[in-house]
Amino acid sequence: MTNRQRIACWILTLVAWHPTGICYADDGVFAEVVRPVFQQSCVKCHGRDGKVKGKVDLLEIGGTADLVSDLERLETIIDVLDEHEMPPEKEPELKPGVREQLVLELRKLLHAGATAEKGYAPTPIRRMNRFQYNNAVVDLLKLKVVVFPLPEKMMRDRSGYFRPETGKMPGRLVVSSRQLGKSALIEPRLAGVGPFPQDLRAEHGFDNRGDHLTLSPMLMEAFFKLSRRIVQSSNFDKRTVGIWQEFFVPPAEKEKIESEVRERLRVFLGRAFRQPVEKGLLESYVGYVMGQLKSGKEFPGAMKEAVSAVLASPQFLYLYDKPSEGNEAELLNGYELASRLSFFLWGSIPDDKLLELAGSGKLVEPEVLVEQVRRMLLDRKLKRFCDSFPAQWLQLERIISSLPDETIYRDFYYAPPNYRTSMDMMMEPLLLFETVLIENRSILEFIDSDYAYRTPRLRKWYGEPTKERLGGPVTLNFKRQPVSDKRHGGVITNAAVMTMTSGPDETKPITRGAWIAGVIFNDPPEPPPADVPPLEPQEEGAENLTIRERFAAHRERADCAGCHAKLDPLGFAFENFDPVGRWREKYENGRQVDASGTLFRRHRFSNVVEFKQAILEEKDRFTRAFAEHLLSFALGREITPADSPALDELVAQTISDDYRIRTLIEGVVQSAPFVSRSSGISRKTSSSGESKSAITEKQ
């Protein structure tokens, strides 16, 4: 049975499932495995004598039906058990093997409940974000320039190094940054065309999230004006527009002009709207162009008017899936699949090959779909994926606003007026990501790699000897080099991450811990209570305290203890890195740095090298988290419990192929949530009204 047939059969079986139909066969498991643990270790704080911490009353759960009736609550219970957050540290630990068996049985129920939901959370209808709009216009018109400047592109290729078709990154390359570097090298663009406001990254998400990309009347008007400025640009002509000859040049036979206009528009509209254009709509555009010609407008001008109308059309601007006709999920058709695939990997409209396969019905065939994914991964338009996903996943926009104290870290600022070492820092993790992707390496190298790309300035920053010119601020020369020092390698101890999670003059362990929790484990903490004061500056007589000792007051607060217990080990593991990412053994007061802790109450570590090893001991957990980030980006929505079975399958596939990134990407594209059209169901809201972080915080 092919993958698509398996998914189709799975969708058909959804009709026969319902949570109440799941439970009775498994109530024996509930009575023998689940209830005894709840009664012995949980209800003391979650239901007994009216005590309900975290708004989770486990005494309300009388059987399997109650468990699967609220999948978010069930998923939260699984997570806090699996991560050893429950029972709390002060309570007796579960007997060996009990926790593992309980998590296993609860996961089975979660999968059954997810199946019973008959589909997935819908992705709201959404417009293209600014990055996607630029790419789509460039591809539609085959522009040889960009439409407008894109500051969200954090790293620009200045040496032509990005060649995924070779399967290899070069040993040396040159890059630049618009945000942090000198703007002497600006990409050629359409004259007089300015961008609309940048779409910001969703909190703990991405800038392509459907629930963030709305279209107000003012923005709709801005799109209309933008479409006019594009075609009216002084350099919108045969020098910059790749389709000029085939679309804008008047046909040789004037008596056939209407039929020629119709054919040109049929092809153009099909590409712009990502599917064959309906006859009535096509004739409307043909009539509009012919009316322009009859009024005396030149042929190129009339066709420009049509292009302007297309670029402001909802059919072009909006990304959406048609809802399924019934209450069950359905498989996407070829054109919907082509759009979802192209906006995932290329951040743009499908190319002619994808549309051709969609029209023939072949794209939905699993073998053809995988073949196209592999083709797209070798295309240079893959740079757009690298310009979008990794920087947002790593939250690297934070390094742009990081300003260490100039009086303490003078060498951080190396050229007037304000050029900073953060430019070099920011590129290092991005180049590592591109290397893993182009060379199809293991995603575990994001945790620890034995190589890195560094500039002479970065080598000096990390304490390595260098005689080369430090470079900047216009372009940066990076060289691939081996990394034998286990304190470095990967993304988590990169100087950019260490700097952007610090304050101007001291580290912020909680911020660093929250970054690890959200980025590496996809388990971001809740915001702190509104009345929690910031860490007080050192008072007179307290100069000899370490940051860990100064945090003691926060940990003593009942409403803070839960988060501190979770985040402190993650953040203090990096205390040997100062606020600008350089190594230190002692604080300025002479006290020894203490970076010890325990990860998930299981893996003890005494330094950051052992901490990285502890994360690798939990490599499957990281793989699951990274898969969630990737699937969320691909779908343009949050991950919900209904996606859990597909994610488990993705993780298993990736593990079986040595954690290679392309195996994970291919798995995402073939997964049931990716190839399915939503039934329009919404996520089940937890009856507790509380997230896992809020629940554990109150223990």
What are the tokens at 241?
């527009």
Cα–Cα distance measured from residue 511 to residue 500, given in angstroms and rounded to the nearest whole number:
9
User: Residues 547-559: pLDDT tens digits?
Assistant: 888 877 666 666 6
Q: Which two tokens stand for residue 303?
A: 């066709």
Distance of CA 414 to the CA centre of its chain: 32
**Residue range 257-306, pLDDT digits in tens:** 999 999 999 999 999 999 999 999 999 999 999 999 999 999 999 999 99
In this prediction, residues 57-86 reach a mean pLDDT of: 84
SS3 262: helix
**pLDDT tens digits along 388-412:** 999 999 999 999 999 999 999 999 9
Of 335, 340, 427, 436, the closest CA to residue 664 belongs to: 436
- Supply the pLDDT for residue 90: 77
Phi and psi at residue 51, in whole multiples of 5°?
A: -90, 115
Give the containing element (helix H, strand E) for 451: strand 451-454
Q: Helix-strand-coil percent breakdown of the chain, rounded to 5? A: 50, 5, 40
Predicted TM-score (pTM) of the model is: 0.90
pLDDT of residue 628: 97
Three-state DSSP at 655 gives helix
- The CA distance from 693 to 542, in Å, is 32
Residue 688 reports pLDDT greater than 70: no
Query: Distance between CA atoms of 420 and 432, rounded to whole angstroms?
Result: 21
Cβ-count burial 577-613 (b if 16+ within 10 Å, e if not): bbbbbbbeeebeeeeebebbbebbeebebebbbbbbb
Q: What would the pLDDT profile of 432-479 be if each residue is shown by its tens digit?
A: 999 999 999 999 999 999 999 999 999 999 999 988 888 888 899 999
Q: Decide if 586 contacts 575 (C-beta within 8 A).
A: no
Q: Which helix (H) or strand (E) holds 192?
A: none
Q: Which residues contact 533 (CB under 8 A, 6 or more apart)?
A: none
Assess contact for 38 and 61: CB atoms under 8 A: yes
Q: What is the C-alpha to C-alpha distance for residues 171 and 161, in angstroms, rounded to an integer?
A: 9
Is pLDDT at 22 greater than 90 in this prediction?
A: no
Query: In residues, how long is the chain?
Result: 699
Picking from 12-16, 352-356, 476-480, 486-490, which range would have the lowest pLDDT averaged per residue?
12-16
Average pLDDT score over residue span 486-497: 97
| Cis ω before 465 (30° cut-off from 0) | no
**Which of the four pLDDT bands, split at 50, 70 and 90, describes residue 538?**
low
Give the pLDDT of residue 697: 45
Burial 284-316 (b: 16+ CB within 10 A, else e): ebbeebeebbeeeeebbebbbbbbbbbbbbeeb
The two structure tokens encoding residue 534: 């910031």
Has residue 545 got a pLDDT over 80? yes
| Residues forming a β-bridge with 146 | 189
- Predicted pLDDT at 557: 65
pLDDT on residue 562 = 66
413 three-state secondary structure: strand
Measured distance CA(586)–CA(578) in Å, rounded: 10
Structural contact between residues 145 and 382, judged by C-beta atoms closer than 8 angstroms: no
Q: Cα–Cα distance between 309 and 259 in angstroms, integer?
A: 20
Question: Residue 565 pLDDT more than 90?
Answer: no
- For residue 368, give Cα distances in angstroms to 333, 334, 372, 373, 377: 14, 11, 6, 9, 14
Q: What would the mean pLDDT of 593-601 be, rounded to a whole number?
A: 94
Residue 186: exposure state from Cβ atoms within 10 A (0-12, 13-18, ≥19): exposed
**Above pLDDT 70, what percent of the chain?**
88
Mind giving me the DSSP string for 22-43?
HHHHHHHHIIIIIHHHIIIIIT
pLDDT in tens, 526-537: 877 666 666 666
C-alpha–C-alpha distance, residues 632 and 681, integer Å: 17
User: What's the confidence (pLDDT) of residue 30?
Assistant: 81
Share of the chain above pLDDT 90, in %: 62
Least confident of 228-232, 377-381, 587-591: 587-591
Q: Is the peptide bond before 524 cis (omega within 30 degrees of 0)?
A: no
**376 compared with 196, residue with greater pLDDT:** 376
Pick from 595, 565, 667, 584: which is nearest to 624 by CA?
A: 667
C-alpha to C-alpha distance for 461 and 425, rounded to whole angstroms: 10
Q: Residue 610 pLDDT more than 60?
A: yes
Letter for the amino acid at 4? R
Q: Which comes out higher in pLDDT, residue 29 or 556? A: 29
Is pLDDT above 70 for 659? Answer: yes
Please tell me the distance from the alpha carbon of residue 587 to that of residue 200, in angstroms, as a whole number.
37
State pLDDT tens for residues 161-218: 999 999 999 999 999 988 777 664 568 999 999 988 888 888 888 999 988 888 888 8
Q: How many CA atoms lie within 13 A of 107 on its CB side?
A: 16
Residue 524's pLDDT is 92
pLDDT band at 626 (very low <50, low <70, confident <90, very high): very high
Taking Cα atoms as reference points, which of 335, 268, 276 lies closest to residue 306?
Answer: 268
Query: Can you tell me the distance from the alpha carbon of 73 to that of 51, in angstroms, rounded to the nearest whole number?
Result: 18
Confidence of residue 495 (pLDDT cuts 50, 70, 90): very high
- Considering only CA atoms, which of 302, 280, 282 is closest in space to residue 291? 302
In 273-402, alpha helices (H): 279-294, 299-311, 314-317, 334-345, 352-360, 366-377, 383-393
Average pLDDT over residues 660-666: 98
Q: Which residue has the higher pLDDT, 678 or 208?
A: 208
Tokens of 5: 């047939």
Q: Which residue, chain included where needed, has tokens 């005689």?
A: 467
pLDDT over 70 at 544, yes or no:
yes
Whole-number mean pLDDT of the chain?
88
Helix count and strand count (H, E) for the chain: 29, 12
**What is the DSSP annotation of 194-236?**
PPPPPPPPPTTS-TT-TTT----HHHHHHHHHHHHHHHH-TT-
Do 645 and 653 contact (CB within 8 A), yes or no? no
Quick check: 19 pLDDT over 70? no
8 A C-beta contact, residue 528 and residue 534: no
Residue 91, CA distances (Å) to 85, 86, 87, 485, 555 in order: 11, 9, 6, 39, 18
Contacts of 664 (CB under 8 A, 6+ apart): 443, 623, 626, 627, 630, 650, 653, 654
In angstroms, the Cα distances linking 665 to 119, 627, 633, 661 are 22, 9, 11, 6
Cis peptide bond upstream of 87, omega within 30: yes
